[in-house]
Structure 1
Amino acid sequence: MKRKMRRLVGLVALATLALATPGVEAQLLSDLAEAAENLLVRPLEAAWDATFGKAPDAAGTVYLELLPNATETGALCLDGSPAGYWFRKGWGDGKDKWLVFLEGGGWCFNEQDCYERSKTILGSSKQWAQTRSDRSSQIFSADPKENPDFYNWNLVDVAYCDGASFSGNVAEPITVNGEEIYFRGKNILEATVWHLKYGKGMTFATDVVLAGCSAGGLATLLHADWFETRLGPSVKNYKAISFSGFFPDTPNFQGEPWYPSVMKYVYEMQQVDIHSPGCLADNMNEQYKCFFAQNQYRHIKTPVFLANSVYDMYTISVIYNVSQQTIPENENNLVVPYLNDKSRSLWDLISWTGTWWAGKNGGFLHTCFTHCAGCLTDSGWSGVKVDGMSLRDYLGLWLRNQVARTREPCVYTLGEPFQCNPTCPPL
């Protein structure tokens, strides 16, 4: 061991002397990195696995990690508090496999809205729980019967506190009501990846899945290709899963373009940073359109699985503005035909792309009036069936590089019970 340490020290000295010599420093630094890994990192990793790389307690507890260098890296929530994530170490054959999950929670649509959001857990880390149970989501479960594909992977549940799908990139804080508000979502994502690699061992990952739900599902589509560029050479399998992240760019039931206009404002307000050369080039004069799933999805190069309802609850109630409070009684008969038309339009937006049909990709499109239920609830994860298989079943096939793609969804009936899939929860 002493001999190896002397070799490491010698390499450090040689590398320092060679930095000014073209063509020499690269090999020395490579040797230095290899020696450091063998002498320092691998033993530390082995010690960590021996102590913590075991099956979790009965509650499947995940633990909060605030980013220690948040101020220096700009990885700050809306209120300036440090961003972070909940973590559980993988074990067994999952010790080098990583599920990085981006939480959702909508967006803040203007400066005042972001200020108000900064007083909540969606804009500040000050009141985040120190621990969570894996029961908060089925995809987090440590039970192999419930979650056969991810149960023993390293779990990273990235907290959402920037209000723009981990995409804001404004250098200086703005002032609202006399207080500073930070738009640093992209910094949060960058600093999180760095901390996972050099603080938690993701440098040695062999398999990585980036996933997210709702605003986090959109973030997954926006950043899937960029995220891969931040991973190490040990990663052999990298994929992305978007749950309920496909929000269409469309007018609402009343014919007003509310959602497109507010998302354009968010894009400009937070100076959204999206690494997608193809999409940005296709929308050269309207690059904010790359903040919409339908435009970003067609340009994703990462193998991607899309899990979405064509009657998504958030989309219907917020984007379409369809609810008991917003629809006059004399127009009730128009609602089901309107929703059916929208469901077909959503299917077209998805299926008319090469992304949907690419052999490496998969998807589970259903008709349940839910939002994020696929990864969060028993019914959405394993109860709802399309052609006799659940979302969990389709995901399992896709992770094994098999064909896993549902057909065109059915449409609502014009009479009771309206729902066309009997396995969906009641409306």
Structure 2
Amino acid sequence: MRVAAYVSAVMLTCAWCVLSEPRLEVPMTLVRNASHQGAFCLDGSLPAYHLHKGFGAGATNWLLQFEGGGWCNDLESCFERAGTRRGSTRYMSKFEVFSGILSNNASLNPDFYNWNRVKLRYCDGASFAGDAKFDNGTSILYFRGQKIWRAIINDLLPKGLSKAKKALLSGCSAGGLASFLHCDNFTSFLPQNASVKCLSDAGFFLDEKDISLNHSMRAFYEELISLQGVEKNLHENCTSSLHYPHLCLFPQYALEFIKTPFFILNSAYDVYQFHHILVPPTADLHGRWNRCKLDPAACNPNQLSILQGFRKDMLTALNQFYTYSRRGGMFINSCFAHCQSESQDTWLAIDSPRVNNKTIAEAIGDWYFSRRITKEIDCAYPCDTTCHNLIPLP
């Protein structure tokens, strides 16, 4: 009886009780003058973002979050994408729910709740990095991700971004990759005395062979770069140093050239990479990995060994950064998940994932505000009992 009363009291006063928290729905802002800058979504519609203004001590601080959503690497997939919310603002929701790192609740997002928080909508299919156009006389596709990035920044500068004192450029998935691609460029728009840092959530895509020993992701990126005119927008110090410049789309090759302080949030068993880089459908025609993909507990010893090898390769790719980056941070957990900063459950909640008893929100906040060095690496699966394994259905 006492236990029940105690639990009831906690539930009534609990700052973590996400279900009782009203949803913060933020309206869309179209970039009206984007057409004058040549900035269009795939289908020719105007790009957009969602801005929730900061207040109090956070009124001069800015957090920009790139939306994720994969890529398109050929005309067929890009034309298909152009008719969806991934390629056109015409099909997007006109309101976005801000939660996790975008929340305005001090209990749920203590370090960034009162900042100006912006979600950049994703409609180009190349992580905001393309600069090309397809026009066969009857159909047009605009590959203008780089111009979309510039147009949104230009729209935000007079709204207060030009006077930012603190700023964090972030993103999830393909948006996390965009954080790597645009980090140093973002710094160039802001005052020299501003504290500017970058964060990638689930954007550390590995240059890894799949289970059939093919570089399927490398081939995908090569087609993407060629179609959308991405190469000229990759980090020039990286492209000039590698024999194969297109490899600079992979963060593991570009990271050493990024000068702005960077934080890498990623699962060592990232679900997207597991399903599309390590075991893409083309490498598993007979579906031998289907059960394992849906439930890690169903993986056989050989499959688990391959997954542990993938984790090892990720940590190897991050070793230089872990060892030598004095201003960098990282949180590499062992949850089967993809994107953990935008969901309240995984960002900061009573049962959210932890590494060394630290939540993702605490780790990123400690790093951004230089409260302590934050480079957290989880033990290997299945040791972490705090995980939220977020595995999509096929």
Of 170, 174, 179, the residue aligned with 2:135 is 174
Aligned to 2:113: 151
Q: Does 1:81 align with 2:40?
A: no
What is the letter of the counterpart of residue 409 of structure 1?
D
Secondary structure of the corresponding residue to residue 78 of structure 2: helix
Q: Does 1:348 align with 2:316?
A: yes
Higher relative contact order (CA 8 A, sep 6+): 2
TM-score normalised to structure 1 length: 0.79
What is the letter of the counterpart of residue 90 of structure 1?
G
Structure 1 contact 167–184 (Cα < 8 Å) conserved: yes
Of 355, 366, 387, the residue aligned with 1:424 is 387
Give the whole-Å Cα distance in 2 for the aligned partners of 1:107 and 1:322.
Answer: 15
Aligned to 2:24: 60
Q: Does 1:201 align with 2:160?
A: yes
Structure 1 contact 208–238 (Cα < 8 Å) conserved: yes
Secondary structure of the corresponding residue to residue 143 of structure 2: coil
| Equivalences for residues 182-197 of structure 1 within 5 A | 182-197=142-157
RMSD: 2.2
Aligned to 2:11: none
Give the whole-Å Cα distance in 2 for the aligned partners of 1:254 and 1:126.
Answer: 40
Question: Residue 354 of structure 1: CA displacement?
Answer: 4.0
Higher Cα Rg, which structure = 1
Give the whole-Å Cα distance in 2 for the aligned partners of 1:228 and 1:175.
Answer: 38
What is the letter of the counterpart of residue 187 of structure 1?
K
Of 332, 351, 367, the residue aligned with 2:334 is 367
Secondary structure of the corresponding residue to residue 368 of structure 1: coil
Aligned to 1:228: 187
Question: Residue 132 of structure 1: CA displacement?
Answer: 2.4
What is the letter of the counterpart of residue 362 of structure 1?
G
Question: Residue 408 of structure 1: CA displacement?
Answer: 4.0
Give the whole-Å Cα distance in 2 for the aligned partners of 1:167 and 1:399.
Answer: 26
Give the whole-Å Cα distance in 1 for the aligned partners of 2:95 and 2:342.
Answer: 19
Question: Residue 226 of structure 1: CA displacement?
Answer: 1.1
Question: Residue 223 of structure 1: CA displacement?
Answer: 1.1
Structure 1 contact 244–307 (Cα < 8 Å) conserved: yes
Give the whole-Å Cα distance in 2 for the aligned partners of 1:312 and 1:133.
Answer: 24
1:100–1:344 CA distance, 2 compared to 1 (3 A): same
Give the whole-Å Cα distance in 2 for the aligned partners of 1:298 and 1:210.
Answer: 18
Structure 1 contact 98–207 (Cα < 8 Å) conserved: yes
| Equivalences for residues 318-357 of structure 1 within 5 A | 318-321=276-279, 326-327=287-288, 332-351=300-319, 353-354=320-321, 357=324
Give the whole-Å Cα distance in 1 for the aligned partners of 2:323 and 2:288.
Answer: 34
Give the whole-Å Cα distance in 1 for the aligned partners of 2:183 and 2:190.
Answer: 11
1:232–1:400 CA distance, 2 compared to 1 (3 A): closer
Aligned to 2:296: none
Secondary structure of the corresponding residue to residue 122 of structure 2: coil
What is the letter of the counterpart of residue 265 of structure 1?
E
Question: Residue 260 of structure 1: CA displacement?
Answer: 0.6
Q: Does 1:269 align with 2:217?
A: no
Question: Residue 81 of structure 1: CA displacement?
Answer: 0.4
Give the whole-Å Cα distance in 2 for the aligned partners of 1:151 and 1:182.
Answer: 35
Aligned to 2:175: 216
Secondary structure of the corresponding residue to residue 89 of structure 2: coil
Aligned to 1:279: 238
Give the whole-Å Cα distance in 1 for the aligned partners of 2:348 and 2:222.
Answer: 33
Question: Residue 232 of structure 1: CA displacement?
Answer: 3.5
4+ runs deviating over 4 angstroms: 322-325, 328-331
Aligned to 1:403: 372
Give the whole-Å Cα distance in 1 for the aligned partners of 2:135 and 2:315.
Answer: 40
Give the whole-Å Cα distance in 1 for the aligned partners of 2:279 and 2:22.
Answer: 42
Q: Please identify, of 368-377 and 90-99, the stretch whose mean Cα deviation from structure 2 is larger.
A: 368-377
- Give the share of equivalent positions with the same residue, in percent: 32
TM-score normalised to structure 2 length: 0.85
Q: Does 1:239 align with 2:208?
A: no
Secondary structure of the corresponding residue to residue 217 of structure 1: helix
1:256–1:221 CA distance, 2 compared to 1 (3 A): same
